[in-house]
Each structure stands twice: as C-alpha cells, then as structure tokens.
Amino acid sequence: MRVLLTGGAGLVGNALTRLFLKKGAQVFCVDNFALGTPRHLEEFHNHSDFEFEELDASVSGWHKKIQGRKFDLLVHLAANSDISLGNARPEMDKNRTFDTSFEALQAAREMKIPKFIFSSTSAVYGANPPMPTSESSPNLHPVSIYGAGKLASEAFISAFVENYGLEAWIFRFGNVVGEKLTHGVIYDFIGRLRKNPKELNVLGNGFQTKTYIDVEDCVSGIGLAFEKSPPGASHAEKFKIFNLSTEGTTSVRQIAEETCRALNLKNCKVNYQDSPIGWVGDVPKTSLDVSKIKRYGWEPALDSTSAVFKSIRDYARWSSKVES
C-alpha cells in the first residue's frame, strides 16, 4: 500500500508512520513544521519505504509538486491543534485546520487517491453533549474555532465522498498523549515547571475532566478500523465515523499533581483559578462512547489516567534528552 500522509512530523504522524512502515506500506510524508518537528522523522530517514518533502498542506495546489506519484490512501493529520490559539487568532484554524483539509481533498480528487483518513476531534460535539458521547450525537455545535474547522472539514469530506467516489474514515480523537508531544496540557506544564520549579499556574479551576488516549492505542485503533471496516457501497457505508479514545477521564488537577511528582518537585505550589474553563472555547468535560470501534476488536492497552501518567514521564525524559 502507498500512503500519502500530511502532518507526519507530529505526535500521531510519527506513530502512524511507524505503524504503516511496520505493516509493509510505503509512506510519503509532508509537513511544514508549524507544530511538528524534524526530530520526529529522524528514525525513518534510512528506511527504504519512507520519503519526506517539506510542504505546506494549506497552500492551494501543494500536491502538484508531487504529481505523477500513485497512492492508495491519503491520511490527513495536518491541523492547528493548539485550540487556545484559535481564539486569539481565528485565521490560524481557517488556514491550518480547514484549508489543509480542503487542499488534501483536492489532492485526493486530482491524484485519484481512492481512500481518505481524517483526524477529527471530540471538539465537534460542543460543550454540552450527552455523555458518554456517541458518533450519532445530534446538534453538533462546536464552541472552539478548532472544533469548527474540524466539523467544516468533515462536511466537505462527506460531500467529496458523494461527488467524487471517495471512501473516508473519520476519527474523532480524545486528547492524544505520548512521548513526543508538541502541544497540550502535559507539554505546557512541564515547560512551565522547568522555567519555574517552585510554582505552577493552571488555567481554570483544575476540575476539568477529559478523556485521554495513548498515541500507540490511537494509531492501533486507526489501523484496525481501516483494515476491518467493510468496503462501502452507499454514502453512509463509505463515510465512516469513529470515536477514538478511552472510556475513562482524567482531571487537570490529577495531571498537575502527577507532573510535580514526576519531576520530583515536592514543594511546588499549584495555583488554580476560579473559572471552570481554561480558555474561551475550552470544553471542561468530555467522555466518549467508543463501543463502535470496539466492535472491531479494538481495546486500548492503557486507560485515560494511565496514559496521562505514562506520557508525563516519557515526555519529561524525551524532552530533557532533546534539550541537552
């Protein structure tokens, strides 16, 4: 199988590239390093089935620079991902989250790539969905610019499935964590504590509880659903949506306290605010129904809190090596 992958230098892109190469696929990765890092690609440089080109997937016609190549699958991971940034600069999500999706779809259409995988998010469900939230949850009203960009992307993917015969897999992630973080609460906490080990300022009251998933469990779910879901005939069968996370949740207070413990900061003072949210567009509580993907035999190796605690230690160790 020949795979074109956007955003391959991020956390999920790194792990998914490794998975595809292990399965014998050929992977052509593109990234502009807006959030991803070249360090995440170093392990693949000598692999005969891996290629990389630095390209901005939000630019119209980026795929024409690799025209003539044949691919069986386009995996679109490139996005803004820094949700709070979208509030301050909404054009970032229009550009990095929605435009990249549209241009990836154009690439699939013009290069005749028949299959499309998209990394979406639980943020499309908005602030008050029924919990645990299933893929059929009605009234999708995202409250973040990021969630809006992802939901708009899903709508365009649906239309491309109908208009151009594409077959698509949509994965609505929980919060993905792992060793090679590029953003997120663990990344932020460790960065702040390395600057000031005596005090940690937390956005919000710390009672925000969200669902987290280890990156290896995340990519195993993608691979399993992609391989095992039957080929589609109708639009509903060709436009497949899966929640992908653990069923448990973890609070920001748990993350803050465990980060201090992991860094051996016994006298660190953690300061919380009164607000139930960390920023405008923050969803303070998430819980996803993952029974649909579990019907294909997928089971995460780690629950939410175990994934978070492992990521804290793995990222602390990995980032200290990178900085040294």
pLDDT tens sequence across 145-203: 999 999 999 999 999 999 999 999 999 999 999 999 999 999 999 999 999 999 999 99
Tell me the pairing of strands 250-251 and 209-210: antiparallel
Least confident interval from 178-187, 228-237, 264-273 = 228-237
Question: Per residue in 87-96, pLDDT tens?
Answer: 889 999 999 9
What percent of the chain has pLDDT above 70?
A: 99
pLDDT band per the 50, 70, 90 thresholds, residue 322: confident
**Helix (DSSP H) and strand (DSSP E) numbers for the chain:** 11, 13
- What are the C-alpha distances in Å from 284 to residues 145, 200, 260? 16, 19, 22
**Average pLDDT, integer, range 250-258:** 98
* HEC letters along 285-299: ECCECCHHHHCCCCC
- CA 270 to the chain's CA centroid: 28
- pLDDT band at residue 324 using 50, 70 and 90 as cut-offs: low
Rounded distance, CA 63 to CA 293, Å? 31
Helix crossing, 11-22 with 215-228: angle to 10°?
Answer: 50
pLDDT at 323: 65
Note the pLDDT of residue 321: 79
